[in-house]
């Protein structure tokens, strides 16, 4: 493994390499130099990866780990839609004018099939969210535990690929194609309750939806979150699509699933992924939805838009 040499070749613009690793040895060979070289250059460094990888990296870094901002990606990035605003931008924006290094591992073997499309789109959208920024985001990929499709998509979402043989430019880099490929229709859960919501029926929707999700096993606190999410989404439909919204509420395994469909076309793929600007009065609805839900997926085309939110039911 070549460490951070190629990764550090261009530090005045955004650099987004995928690190393919087979085991802890590969993982540390690719991540430790990336971190230590950043610290040696007085660059801010953050690491957001699953807990087992955090532990491995902490042991390898020793006391240097105290200078690294470390986060459990399975918590802060459970919903891929909040990683850009709540993890990556939250750290990078703290250090304007400085080159910032981040290790972010948003895809791990235990991710569900429902989560993966949002993960792939997230990795693709990073390239737009940080274009022109002095930031390097290194994304590790477990070549043993992850599906070959995931590894193939990584070559489409990352312009630079790093593995035990060195680093190379990806000849399959096509992030916009990935965003389009995973813009897939969303099917409501079997037996879901269907409601129609407009300005006059918003209070009714809030009351009925709250009752439904409590019956499905959500706590009072999470039920309140669902009601707030649905209120934001329906309000967006009324204001931006200019139409009533169709709302479905149901259960899929260990998640309550809510979908809001309207006739609008969402043309901004980064909607809901930009941090709030101080003093901002509007345009925060989708950002709030991303922060509250355990998963957010969107399907949009000229015929309409469906936003699906999932909330885990805990025993």
Both 198 and 177 in one domain: the answer is no
Q: Is residue 99 part of a domain?
A: yes
104 and 34 assigned to the same domain: yes
| Least confident residue range of 66-70, 98-102, 133-137, 276-280 | 276-280
Please report, rounded to a whole number, the percentage of residues in the chain having pLDDT higher than 90. 87
pLDDT digits (tens, 9 = 90+) for 140-167: 999 999 999 999 999 999 999 999 999 9
Mean pLDDT (whole number) for 119-128: 98
Going by C-beta distance under 8 Å and a sequence separation of 6 or more, which residues neighbour residue 255?
A: 114, 294, 295, 310, 311, 312, 313
Using 50, 70 and 90 to split pLDDT, how confident is the model at 212? very high
Is the pLDDT confidence value at 280 over 60?
no
Asked, for residue 225, whether it belongs to a domain, the answer is: yes
Q: Do 160 and 258 reside in the same domain of the chain?
A: no
pLDDT of residue 283: 59
Sign of CA dihedral 253, 254, 260, 266: negative
Domain finish residue from 142, 160, 181? 181
Same domain, 170 and 116: yes
150, 207: one domain? no
Q: Which residues pair with 104 in a beta bridge?
A: 48
Neighbours of 61 (CB within 10 A): 21
Q: Do 168 and 263 have their domain in common? A: no
Confidence of residue 241 (pLDDT cuts 50, 70, 90): confident
Q: Are both 175 and 231 inside the same structural domain?
A: no
Place of tokens 């981040």: 102
Any domain includes 96: yes
Mean pLDDT for the stretch of residues 203-214: 95
For range 125-143, the mean pLDDT: 97
Contact residues for 253 (Cβ-Cβ < 8 A; gap 6+)? none
- Residues 60, 141 share a domain: yes
Has residue 188 been placed in a domain?
no
pLDDT over threshold 60, residue 8 = no
Q: Residue ranges of the alpha helices (H) in the chain?
A: 24-40, 51-61, 73-76, 83, 89-92, 116-129, 148-157, 175-181, 202-215, 220-236, 285-292
Tokens 């995973």 -> residue: 182
**What span, in angstroms and rounded, lies between the C-alpha atoms of 19 and 33?**
13
Mean pLDDT to the nearest integer, 75-94: 97
pLDDT score of 118 = 98
Structural domains in the chain (count): 2
Query: Does residue 304 surpass a pLDDT of 60?
Result: yes
Tell me whether residue 169 is in a domain.
yes
In this structure, are 259 and 198 located in the same domain? Answer: yes
pLDDT at position 3, please?
43
In the numeric block, the tokens 């791990």 are attached to 108
Query: pLDDT value at position 68?
Result: 98
Average pLDDT over residues 61-77: 98
For residue 239, give its domain range: 193-312
CATH of the domain at 240: 3.30.565.10
Distance CA 234, CA 227 (A): 10
The two most distant CA atoms of the chain are separated, in Å, by: 62
DSSP 76: H
Q: What is the DSSP letter of 77?
A: T
For residues 225 and 168, membership in a common domain is answered with no
CATH label of the domain that carries residue 109: 3.40.50.300
Among 146, 181, 216, the domain-final residue is 181
Q: Is residue 283 part of a domain?
A: yes
Lowest-confidence range among 21-25, 124-128, 246-250, 277-281? 277-281
- Mean pLDDT over 200-204 rounds to 89
- The reply to whether 1 falls in a domain is no
Please report whether residue 187 resides in a domain: no
Q: What is the mean pLDDT of residues 59-82?
A: 98
Residue keyed to tokens 């993982």: 27
Cα–Cα distance for residue pair 308/298, rounded to 1 Å:
6
- 245: Cβ contacts below 8 Å, ≥ 6 apart: 196, 197, 198, 233, 234, 237, 238, 260, 261, 262
Averaged confidence pLDDT in the chain: 93
Query: For residue 303, is pLDDT > 80?
Result: yes
**59: helix, coil or strand?**
helix
Task: For residue 314, count other CB atoms closer than 10 A to its CB.
Answer: 9
CA angle, residues 51, 21, 173, in degrees to nearest 5: 110
- Same domain, residue pair 40 and 165: yes
| Together in a domain, 220 and 92 | no
Higher pLDDT, 83 or 200: 83
How far apart CA 227 and CA 78 sit, in angstroms, is 20
End position of a domain, from candidates 181, 202, 237: 181
Residue 232: partners with Cβ closer than 8 Å, 6 or more residues away: 285, 286, 288, 289
> d(Cα 240, Cα 233) in Å, to the nearest integer?
10
């Amino acid at each position: 493994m070549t460490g951070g040499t190629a990764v550090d070749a261009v530090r005045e613009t955004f650099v987004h390499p995928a690190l393919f690793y087979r085991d802890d040895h590969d993982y540390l060979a690719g991540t430790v130099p990336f971190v230590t070289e950043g610290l040696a250059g007085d660059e801010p460094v953050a690491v957001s990866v699953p807990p087992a990888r955090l532990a491995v990296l902490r042991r390898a870094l020793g006391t240097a780990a105290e200078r690294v901002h470390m986060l459990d990606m399975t918590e802060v990035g459970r919903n891929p839609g909040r990683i850009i605003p709540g993890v990556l931008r939250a750290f990078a924006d703290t250090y304007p004018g400085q080159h910032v290094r981040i290790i972010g591992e948003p895809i791990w073997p235990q991710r569900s099939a429902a989560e993966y499309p949002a993960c792939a789109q997230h990795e693709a959208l990073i390239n737009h969210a940080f274009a022109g920024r002095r930031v390097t985001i290194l994304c590790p990929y477990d070549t043993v535990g992850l599906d070959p499709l995931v590894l193939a998509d990584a070559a489409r979402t990352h312009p630079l690929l790093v593995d035990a043989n060195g680093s190379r430019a990806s000849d399959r880099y096509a992030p916009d194609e990935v965003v389009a490929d995973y813009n897939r229709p969303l099917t409501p859960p079997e037996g879901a309750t269907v409601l129609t919501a407009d300005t006059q029926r918003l209070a009714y929707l809030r009351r009925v939806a709250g009752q439904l999700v409590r019956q499905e096993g959500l706590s009072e606190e999470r039920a309140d979150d669902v009601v707030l999410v649905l209120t934001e989404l329906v309000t967006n439909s009324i204001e931006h699509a200019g139409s009533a919204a169709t709302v479905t509420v149901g259960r899929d395994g260990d998640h309550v699933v809510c979908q809001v469909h309207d006739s609008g076309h969402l043309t901004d793929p980064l909607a809901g992924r930009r941090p709030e600007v101080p003093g901002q009065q509007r345009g925060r609805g989708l950002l709030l939805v991303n922060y509250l839900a355990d998963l957010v997926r969107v399907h949009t085309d000229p015929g309409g838009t469906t936003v699906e939110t999932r909330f885990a039911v805990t025993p």
